A and B are shown apart, each in its own frame.
Chain A
Amino acid sequence: MIKDKLLQNLLAVFMLLLSASSLFAANSNVSMNKELNVKEFILDHLADSYEWHITTIGEKDLSIPLPIILYSKTSGWHLFSASHFHHGEHAVEGFQIATDGKYKGKIIEIDLIGNVVRPLDLSLTKNAVSLLFSSLLLIFIIMSVARSLNRNPMESKKGFIGLMEMFIMTINDDIIKPSVGKDYKRFAPFLLTVFFFIFVNNLLGLIPLFPGGANVTGNIAVTMVLAVATFLVVNLNGSKAYYIDILWPEVPTWLKAPIPLMPVIEIVGLLTKPFALMVRLFANIMAGHSIVLGLTVLIFITVSLGSSINAGMTIVSVIFTVFIDFVELLIAYIQAYVFTLLSAVFIGQARVSHSEKPI
């Protein structure tokens, strides 16, 4: 009974918000009077930025300026707040945010002879801050589970700790153990860290409110570091048999000498594995964000078609966005799962010994 009532109330609030948003959109159209560039809008939201934009109230942007850390070859280290740029309108200490060209949206410097150069940019951008936040959150969650287990290992845990314990053990027993093989215990901490790191960042990316919403795992730099970490773990722990298979595989001799055809192919394969890991995670998460943004934008581009179509499209857009968000929730898990599973399989392949090699 209470549940039904709650559901009804939620539905009422939802409908109210819907109508309010379409009204708001109609109003803003009147005041803005300019066409929305959909492609730019979406790419803008997918890209990293120097300030954390939370919302826009009327004409005023509500955003958190983030620290800018730069090293220029000509003027050395610089540290200042992004608010000095005034959303890219001002130049600060010889730096400015490029409005177009190769470095669009990034900080650039014009050197003495008038060339546009990019300084070493270690700014705490939106993605960097989000990364630090999710890292701390992840450390806090996992350490609290570890502490609770350490304090009283014989007691079965309840609530969130119990859920996390079950989750961790599922990943450990169902992905890592069968994929890596007999010495899985050595690699379990790394693989579990990778899984939960990706999963937490994926989930935070789905939350549109302040601490989340950054497109972290949909950024190629992030997935690149993860893929390189997997690459290093796989190849630094490779067994003798693994390297023999790469450098001197069991194929007719003319395939490996004098032209090392097979070894070259194998080495290329060595590199494509982490590359595929990197691109898969990046593309999946970025695509998810793009779809959600595209569906949301639907509300704003139908404003010009009249209020009834706009209202209808608003409802359609919200329903589709909710649906895609559920799919994204699934993808957040699946991508973390796939990355961990493939890393585990690669480690398992690198650990083979000659005795258990299939004929």
Chain B
Amino acid sequence: MSLLSPEPGLLFWMMLSFGIVLFVLGKYGFPVILKMVDKRYNYIEESLQSARKAQEELARVKETGEALLIQARKDQALILKETARKNEILIVQAREEAQKEAEKIIIAARNQIQTEKEEAIRSIRNEVSRLSIDLTERILREKLSTNEDQLRLIDRLFEEIEISNS
């Protein structure tokens, strides 16, 4: 039966065409396709991996940021507290200082007053002595007519005055 016996002519044409197809596709067709698909597969894999990595990085950055924020808040509270405490101390100190200053001023004023009082007493005394001398003078102008009496009295008076002045 001719269907079961291969024709040499067709064998030749089949070998030729299959050979050409095999050569062209086996060298320039399928290897290129397989290589490119492989390349794309790797590229997608890499992209996925890097995306996952980026996501992880982002999450970590976010976490760090949050931690930083919490820390900052804590620090802020601490600083505020510290400041308040310092403030209080300063105020107390200032008050104390003021107290001391005030006391000093009061003492100084008291001293001033004392001196001025003494001064005033002294000047009053002087005035009184001057007046009394004047008065005595006028009284004595009449009585002390003799020189001797006069001189004696003067001496005695001088002494008295010096004693009281010293």
- Chain A positions within 8 Å of B, measured between CB atoms, are 43, 46-48, 69, 103-106, 120-125, 127-128, 131-132, 135, 138-139, 142-143, 145-146, 149-150, 153-154, 156, 165, 168-169, 172, 185, 188-190, 192-193, 196-197, 219-222, 224-226, 229, 286
Question: Does B10 belong to the interface (CB within 8 Å)?
Answer: yes
Beyond A154-B40, A220-B3, A221-B11, whether A146 also contacts B21 by CB under 8 A is no
CA distance A127 to B2 in the complex (A): 14
**Beyond A120-B9, A189-B29, 10 extra complex contacts between A and B, CB < 8 Å:** A131-B10, A131-B17, A139-B25, A142-B25, A150-B36, A153-B37, A168-B34, A196-B25, A222-B10, A224-B6
Number of A-B contacts (CB under 8 A): 135
Contacts of B32 in A (CB 8 A): 146, 149-150
Most buried by A among B3, B4, B15, B29: B29
A185 touches B20 (CB 8 A): no
1/0 per residue B63-107: CB within 8 Å of A? Answer: 000000000000000000000000000000000000000000000
Contacts of B25 in A (CB 8 A): 138-139, 142-143, 189, 192-193, 196
The number of chain B residues touching the other chain, given as a range, is: 35 or more
Beyond A131-B17, A132-B13, A221-B11, whether A139 also contacts B29 by CB under 8 A is yes
B34 touches A188 (CB 8 A): yes
Beyond A165-B33, A221-B14, A225-B15, whether A48 also contacts B7 by CB under 8 A is yes
CA distance A117 to B4 in the complex (A): 19
Interface of B, helix, strand, loop or mixed by DSSP: helix
Whose C-beta in chain B lies nearest to the C-beta of A128?
B13
1/0 per residue B132-158: CB within 8 Å of A? Answer: 000000000000000000000000000
A220 touches B6 (CB 8 A): yes
CA distance A224 to B6 in the complex (A): 8
Most buried by B among A131, A197, A221: A221
Contacts of A131 in B (CB 8 A): 10, 13-14, 17
Contacts of A123 in B (CB 8 A): 9
B7 touches A221 (CB 8 A): yes
Select which of B11, B26, B39, B40 is within 8 A of A225 by beta carbon.
B11
Beyond A220-B4, A221-B7, whether A193 also contacts B34 by CB under 8 A is no
Beyond A128-B9, A146-B32, A189-B31, whether A135 also contacts B18 by CB under 8 A is yes
Contacts of A138 in B (CB 8 A): 21, 25
Beyond A143-B28, A190-B22, whether A47 also contacts B2 by CB under 8 A is yes
Select which of B10, B21, B34 is within 8 A of A221 by beta carbon.
B10
Least Cβ–Cβ distance between B110 and chain A, in angstroms: 99
Beyond A132-B17, A154-B43, A226-B18, whether A192 also contacts B30 by CB under 8 A is yes
Contacts of A127 in B (CB 8 A): 10, 13
CA distance A226 to B17 in the complex (A): 11
Whose C-beta in chain A lies nearest to the C-beta of B27?
A189
Contacts of B8 in A (CB 8 A): 120-122
Contacts of A125 in B (CB 8 A): 7, 9-10, 13
Whose C-beta in chain B lies nearest to the C-beta of A122?
B9
Contacts of A196 in B (CB 8 A): 25
CA distance A237 to B93 in the complex (A): 101
CA distance A94 to B28 in the complex (A): 45
Select which of B2, B20, B29 is within 8 A of A143 by beta carbon.
B29
Least Cβ–Cβ distance between A123 and chain B, in angstroms: 6
CA distance A168 to B2 in the complex (A): 36
A193 touches B7 (CB 8 A): no
Least Cβ–Cβ distance between B33 and chain A, in angstroms: 5
Contacts of A46 in B (CB 8 A): 3
Whose C-beta in chain A lies nearest to the C-beta of B11?
A221
Contact sample, A vs B, 13 pairs, CB 8 Å cutoff: A69-B9, A120-B8, A128-B9, A128-B13, A139-B20, A143-B29, A146-B29, A149-B37, A188-B30, A189-B31, A197-B18, A221-B6, A221-B10
